[in-house]
């Protein structure tokens, strides 16, 4: 997939192909993933500290994270936040870490609180950021080994 980065223009935020410029759009995100792109949200409202402290360090990667936050019985709010944090970090935004972080916990908390979150916009932003970083690495002749939503490209 890093080969696609050779065609990416950081100036125009498009792939420059022989047939012309091409770029992923919000409509592409909506069609391919079904994620919300329409909701209005003030990003500062997401900066609220979560009411749950999720342990992410020294627990043995993703399997340790699951074991640490899995509970018996019905799903608690804390367990729901932990699951959505894992899902967003590992399967949607595909963080570059080998283990869990709390980078997406504020989004997970908002989803648990039933707030409308335009996740499609965040995904598209992550795609553009990934392509920008990959292009920078290619120009510096470094290995393109970044985590990120390569699956969307």
pLDDT in tens, 3-18: 778 899 999 999 999 9
The helix (H) or strand (E) run that includes residue 16 is strand 14-17
- What is the DSSP pairing of strand 20-22 with strand 14-17? antiparallel
| Torsion sign across C-alpha atoms 85, 86, 88, 89 | positive
Rounded to two decimals, the pTM is 0.81
Q: Does residue 148 register a pLDDT over 90? A: no
Q: Does residue 73 register a pLDDT over 70? A: yes
| Torsion sign across C-alpha atoms 44, 34, 150, 124 | negative
E strand map for 38-135: none
Q: How far apart are the first and last CA of the chain?
A: 8
* Cα(125)–Cα(123) distance, integer angstroms: 5
């Amino acid at each position: 997939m890093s080969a696609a980065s050779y065609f990416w223009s950081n100036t125009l935020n498009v792939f420059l192909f022989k047939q012309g410029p091409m770029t992923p759009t919000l409509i592409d995100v909506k069609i391919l993933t079904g994620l919300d792109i329409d909701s209005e949200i003030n990003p500062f409202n997401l900066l609220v500290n979560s009411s749950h402290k999720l342990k992410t360090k020294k627990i043995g990667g993703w399997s340790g994270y699951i074991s640490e936050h899995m509970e018996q019985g019905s799903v608690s709010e804390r367990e729901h936040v932990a699951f959505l944090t894992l899902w967003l970090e590992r399967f949607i935004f595909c963080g570059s870490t080998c283990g869990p972080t709390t980078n997406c916990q504020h989004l997970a908390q908002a989803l648990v609180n039933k707030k409308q979150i335009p996740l499609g916009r965040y995904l598209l932003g992550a795609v553009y950021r990934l392509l920008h970083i990959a292009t920078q690495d290619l120009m510096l002749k470094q290995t393109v080994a970044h985590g990120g939503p390569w699956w969307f490209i």
